[in-house]
Amino acid sequence: MTTAVTSAAREAMAKLYRASEPEVLKGLLQHAAMDTDSRERVMGHASGLLADLRAAQSRGWVNQFLQEYRLNSSEGVALLSLAEAFLRVPDPETADLLIADKLGDADWRAHAGKSNSKLVNSATWGLVVGRVLVGEGTTGPLRRLISRAGEPFVRQAVGAAMKMMGEIFVMGRTIDEAAKRMRRPEHKGFTASFDMLGEAARTHADAERYLKAYADAIDAIGRDPAAGHSISVKLSALHPRYEVARWNECVPALTEMLEALAVQAASKGIALTVDAEESERLEMSLDIIGTVAALPSLKGWEGFGMAVQAYGKRARPVIAWANGLDRIMNVRLVKGAYWDSEIKRTQVEGLADYPLFTRKAATDVSYLAVARDMLDAENIRPAFASHNALTVATIMEWAGNSRDFEFQRLHGMGDGLYERLVRENGYHCRVYAPVGGHRDLLAYLVRRLLENGANSSFVHQLADERLTEAEILADPVEKIAAVGGRRHPSIPLPVALFGVEGHRNSAGLDLSDVATLEATVQAVNTPLPPAGGAGGGLPASSNGAADVEREPTPNPSRKREGNDVASAIGRAHAAFPAWSRTSVDDRATCLERLADLLESNRKELMAICVQEAFKTIPDAIGEVREAADFCRYYAREARTKLQSIELPGPTGERNTLHIEGRGVWATIAPWNFPLAIFLGQTVAALVTGNTVVAKPAPQTPRIAAAAVRLAHQAGVPEDALVLVPGGPEVGAALTADARIQGVAFTGSTGTARKIARALLDDETRPIVPLIAETGGINAMIVDSTALPEQVVADVIASSFRSAGQRCSALRLLLVQADVADTVIEMLSGAMDTLTIGDPGDPATDVGPVIDQAAYDRLMGYRESVRARWVKTLDAPATGLFVPPTLIRIDAVEDLTQEWFGPVLHVATWEAGKLSETIARVNAKGYGLTMGLHSRIARAAEVTEAEAAVGNLYINRSMIGAVVGSQPFGGEGLSGTGPKAGGPRYLYRFCAERAVSVDTTSAGGNATLLSLDEGGI
């Protein structure tokens, strides 16, 4: 390995990772451009290739499919949705519901007989018949005609169609079947790179299965090395936790496995390529690939290779890195495979910029620039994967007479593009050929179609007969130069995600960047200084928070606390008039300054969250971000909604509605969100003109004290926000004081009831508002159309993140009986990958619970139902660690209370009984969160209409509500509303005062005198 070259390349990657799009493209445009003569020759070649492609459309099923069923049409979406889910549905009842859902609303008759493809037309008539069967009711003529066949006929027809789609995109169900298919006449002159289907391992068993599949495939391909076929390997298929936070675990393990596969491939004389992964895994991938590339045992073998994604901003230095390795490297250049998920992840995590380009033309520019580098590189044997005629023609132009490279295409796509080049012009083309069961292809199939069928893709444009040749072959360099390399206007930077000027999205930390991760880990594990004042005297901890077995902070006598609370209320009461007269704009500005201070002090606040509240590092980041989001959101809401309003009335009368603060509010916060909820409640009360006496949970006073200090620094007067730490006695003293004009509380349902009684029992005090957010028995319902891998990932996050100590956490998993065994087996395997330990360790998934009382309560319950354990894990012997546990129950009704920890209950429900299942969950009286995993739109509609919950999550996890996007709060036993982080929250903190003035009493309405006299 040429160390200087590879080190310089890694430094360049770090600089480009999240650099601005124009900055990155500035260095690519010139390298991708060509002179006029070259451009003319390229256009001539591309025009010929385009003609070949169009001639092949009559036999290209996929091209015909995309032409007839565009992905922006309801029919196209319906077909993809059906293909994605149908083959994994085992029960006929749900299969019928899925078919009816996807075929029922689309206009299939409009497509009948319209395609040039007999195959597409045949499939369309089948869809017409299916639509009639599932959507026409019982009286239609065609329904009557084929009523004897009934739904089984439709299921068989749809199943055959889906398997046919599988044949198009999957080379074979086994490696032997795929190799045999490659010997067909249509593949003459082509070689294959076989990919054993599997997007990623979710369990160690998955990884072992994929490793064996790769090894078996190498053996099978190696029986005929002269055929020239190769194997593609996904690292994410070989380890269920291929994550930067698990670097020390997964990189050595993956290096060992890749070495074994590479040595095996070398011994068989075949090539092996490591596939590209998401951008956050690039540095890990390079470490693994670089180590294997340098192995003495592989010296002389020229079959080792890697894939590089051109949509990544780091693509050029990755090529420089590969060229700097002390060996020949095969490099496959692709456009990119994870674009939409990369964009969403960057936005959700509030990162500085995207790791990839936001315009398709920018990716094309990057591809051309990188392709030129590859052609010039001494140690790279290039492979160019593309279905774009212009890209292919450009590479042919730059390569000249050389044939020392290859083109690649996806199996099932690009028919007509390469046949003439291979069979008449001496070019080599390799087919990227997925291998596996049709049931396993679904996620892969849909993603490939979406990538290559997007409106901006070459494949989609080729299928659009309205586009001219000049439009299809437009120069991407000119397109990007015309917009100055700017980011796509519909894809804002994460900071501007909300689209409202002046309302910034909170900034996150990019933990996929190793330097950032290491600095963060060091910061959060720096021992806290000794607690003082409001800090409560908690012990400092460095990497040992998990070992602290503690009771809540000891409190002084109740009398002393009562005196302290009374004094605090007195201060806030005296400060109210001045603070309430402060303009809304000035109060909002204080909140915005506080948000900035939270972010500038993020690592210090995270350290307290980790060491005092036992937050994991990702949870600690989320805590600070949510607190900042509350501040900015409520500041914006106050400016727009707390202004006085002029109301209509008769002439000579002025009517005005004013919104004012009520007085002193008590905010009582929980320990599970000791910064975000503590500040969310408090700043809402402050910005509406109230003063606040804020009580944190007794377990987490230090983070509250830090937040209050920052609020005072931001401009909130010290007497307008007073901190009163302590236990239940402090809360009781607060709510008993008649000067308190409102209470915002988050915690248990039982405590909320006590507060409500305290506020009402004293008949001499005013009736004041109570905002209560409490817990829930939160259920997720899963039907047989759901993708098990997605379900399991969301269940793991919803149940066990934050050690299950979120009020929104999943407590009850309800799986359709037909797929329960499969889902539970996969879930159990995924639980095995969890790490339980020190929250200051980035590899930790599950930290300790909050205190000894919580630990004893949860461990006692687990022990009482030991006979029903489906799965549990080992936990450290010391510390407050409750092992994540899956418990089987017979029915919804068996779970009678919320267990606030990493304990998940699972039961089954029968197909066709979705409404009944929802009703049984509703009957428990809680109404906080509910989840649904289903590919049936009608199921989502039914759940939305019938679920009595504050927050419903469909096909995603049930935690992580975002301020302003997913207002949070429950109903029934789960809270009073209104929703925190929502547009109606601030009103509850306000008093409304209407003023009506009779202006005629002073001598008439002078404004009438200015009116036109007209005919008077």
Looking at the annotation, which residues are catalytic?
773, 807
Three-state secondary structure of 682-712:
HHHHHHCCCEEEEECCCCCHHHHHHHHHHHH
Residue 861, Cβ density class (10 Å: 0-12 exposed, 13-18 middle, ≥19 buried): middle
Cβ-based neighbours of 362, under 8 Å, separated by 6 or more: 21, 25, 476, 480, 485
Q: Look up residue 869 and give its two tokens.
A: 């354990």
d(CA 947, CA 941): 10
- Residue 145: other Cβ atoms inside 10 A: 11
Q: How many CA atoms lie within 13 A of 1016 on its CB side?
A: 6
- Distance of alpha carbon 517 from alpha carbon 515, whole angstroms: 5
What's the CA gap between 14 and 25, in Å, rounded? 16
Token look-up 């015909």 returns: 64
Give the list of residues 6+ apart from residue 730 with CB closer than 8 angstroms, or none: 555, 561, 564, 565, 695, 724
Distance, CA of 623 to CA of 621 (rounded, Å): 5
721-723 sheet: strands from edge to edge: 721-723, 691-695, 664-668, 740-746, 770-773
Cα–Cα distance between 368 and 387 in angstroms, integer?
A: 14
The residue behind tokens 């597409």 is 120
Tokens of 405: 């490279």
Which residues have CB under 8 Å from 51's CB, separation 6+?
Answer: none
Single-letter amino acid code for the residue at 2? T
How far apart CA 741 and CA 749 sit, in angstroms, is 21
Angle 439-444-447 (CA atoms, 0-180°, nearest 5)?
Answer: 135
Burial 788-809 (b: 16+ CB within 10 A, else e): bbbbbbbbbbbbbbbbbbbbbb
The CA-to-CA distance between both ends of the chain, in Å, stands at 98
* Token pair 């045992």 in the structure block, residue: 297
- Give yes or no for a contact between 233 and 274, defined as CB atoms under 8 angstroms apart: yes
Find out whether the peptide bond into 978 is cis, omega within 30 degrees of 0: yes
Q: What is the largest distance, in Å, between two alpha-carbon atoms of the chain? A: 107
Alpha-carbon dihedral angle through residues 265, 268, 271, 274, given to the nearest 10 degrees = -10
Measured torsion, CA atoms of residues 166, 169, 173, 178, in degrees rounded to the nearest 10: 150
731: tokens are 């809360």
- Whole-angstrom Cα distance, residue 937 to residue 914? 13
Distance CA 37, CA 287 (A): 42
Phi, psi of 851 (to 5 degrees): -160, 175
Three-state DSSP class for 745? strand
DSSP 834-900: --BS-TTSTT-SB---SSHHHHHHHHHHHHHTGGGEEEE----SSSSPPPPEEEE-SSGGG--S---
For every residue of 633-658, which 3-state class applies, written as one string? HHHHHHHHHCCCEEECCCCCEEEEEE
